[in-house]
Structure formats: structure tokens, C-alpha cells
Homo-oligomer: A and B are copies of this chain.
Amino acid sequence: ETAFTFLLGIGMEPRCRCIKTESRRIGSYIQKVELFPPSPQCEDTEIIATMKRSGREICLEPTAPWVKKVIEKILAK
């Protein structure tokens, strides 16, 4: 099991980062948004928002229209 854990620990992320995604709106106190395109490690597009102050990371639902709007709003600033 140690060798297995070791193998998982090297190189890129071995699997998807998000177990579930938030489809409800989150507040606007976003410090950053990370976009991960599909890859051999995870076939889903993953979007992770990091909140200001708390530093909490929240997986956002890529298909939710408000998520697209949040990203467009950041790009327009």
C-alpha cells in the first residue's frame, strides 16, 4: 500500500479533483477561479473557486449558467 500511495503521489493528479460540484450561486468574494480542461487523469472539466479570507475551495458546476457569468464578469473587469 505504501508503494501504491507513493505512485499516486508523483507526477500529475491521478484523478478528478471534484467529488461533487456546487450548482447554487456562491458569493462574489472569490479570490481566484481555476479551470482544468479534461485530461487523461479526469475526463470532466473542473472549475474550482477559492474564496477570499477563508481560502475555502469550492468545485463549481461547469454547466451552470451562473458559473459562466461569474467567469465572464472576471474577464470583463
A residues touching B (Cβ–Cβ < 8 Å)?
12, 30-39, 45, 47, 52, 62, 67-68, 71, 74-75, 77
- B33 engages A77 (CB within 8 Å): no
- A34 engages B37 (CB within 8 Å): no
- B31 engages A39 (CB within 8 Å): yes
Given the complex of chains A and B, what is the CA–CA distance between A23 and B39 in angstroms? 25
Query: How many copies of the shown chain assemble into the complex?
Result: 2
Given the complex of chains A and B, what is the CA–CA distance between A36 and B32 in angstroms? 5
Chain B nearest CB from A5 CB (Å) reads: 22
- A34 engages B31 (CB within 8 Å): no
Given the complex of chains A and B, what is the CA–CA distance between A68 and B72 in angstroms? 8
| CB-CB under 8 A for A71 and B35, given A45-B77, A77-B45 | yes
